[in-house]
Amino acid sequence: MAVAWYISVTMGLSAWSVNLIAVGLLLLLTIFVLSGVRRTNWLNIVLVLISLAGLTAFIIAAFSAQKTTNSATVSADSLSLFHAAALMFVAFTGYGRIATMGEEITEPRRNIPKAVVLTLAVVSAIYIAVGLAILHLGGIASFEQSNFNIANLISDPSWRWLVVIGGVVAMSGVVLNLVLGVSRVILAMGRRKDLPNALAKLSQDNQSAPAATWLTFAIMAIIALLGGIESAWTLSAFTVLVYYGITNIAALKVSNEQRFIPKWISVLGLVSCFGLVVLAALA
């Protein structure tokens, strides 16, 4: 949905085309996931490299331009910070896809925690750099635009199109990882009988989970068709926070022999997740 909205805002497309683009792209990426984990991982590497190139282009273009003299301020109530944190939590959940790919990772107990920490550090650094670039180029008032996207802050057409391409590719990568990661969660739930066992079946080459993947596509397509970008993002933020809250509850049930993080971290995560859900609802 975000990809379609970004394209429509940048190119001025009609409203009905947003849903068409969203479902079409989702179908294309679902078919790619069904082709196997190895091909999907290679595509993901390409998408990440293009995304980083687009963000780098934006940062360079932003700091090459004259700093804005806009002194506008943004009004906020006491709960706005928590509301923003709840909505932004979605932007950091990519590390969770690493954990769902445990079957494809060598020595997951050792490598997954390292990959999670590295991912959070790199992503945070990129977000901070992009945020500073936005403030340099458009000031705090940039965030109050109803159809805000960073490409519209760039006046140079050549730099702008690099940023547009990078943005579209970056969000396509998010969709790809969602289809892959969520389908793996459904696969695991099918194996544990939390969902119908038919969802646990693999393809003949054991490279994909067709039933789980198509169910993931169906759910995401319904959300894309029935909800706008704001409702889709809000629903995603709410469900992700609840999902990670439940994950922390599950972590508390892990035996001491199998536990590799202290219980207090799981308790803190549980309180933080459900606390953000409540505070965001009040904001």
Per-residue model confidence (pLDDT) at position 2: 64
Looking at the chain, how many residues does it have?
A: 283
Q: Which two tokens stand for residue 103?
A: 């079957």
Residue 184 near residue 212, CB atoms below 8 Å: yes
% pLDDT > 70, the chain:
84
Per-residue model confidence (pLDDT) at position 12: 61
Per-residue model confidence (pLDDT) at position 77: 63
Q: Which two tokens stand for residue 221?
A: 């397509």
Residue 19: pLDDT band by 50, 70, 90 thresholds?
Answer: confident
> Is the CA virtual torsion 230, 231, 237, 238 positive or negative?
positive
Q: What is the residue type of 77?
A: D
Mean pLDDT (the chain, rounded): 82
Residue 16: pLDDT band by 50, 70, 90 thresholds?
Answer: low
**156 or 255, greater pLDDT:** 255
Asked whether the predicted pLDDT for residue 99 surpasses 70, the reply is: yes
Residue 179: strand, helix, or coil: helix
Asked whether the predicted pLDDT for residue 101 surpasses 70, the reply is: no
247 burial type by CB count under 10 A (0-12 exposed, 13-18 middle, 19+ buried): middle
The model's pTM is 0.74
94 burial type by CB count under 10 A (0-12 exposed, 13-18 middle, 19+ buried): middle
**pLDDT tens across 245-261, in order?**
998 998 898 888 888 78
Q: Which two tokens stand for residue 59?
A: 């940062």
CA distances from 239 to 13, 144, 181, 208 (A): 30, 25, 15, 25
How far is the C-alpha of 142 from the C-alpha of 10, rounded, in Å? 16
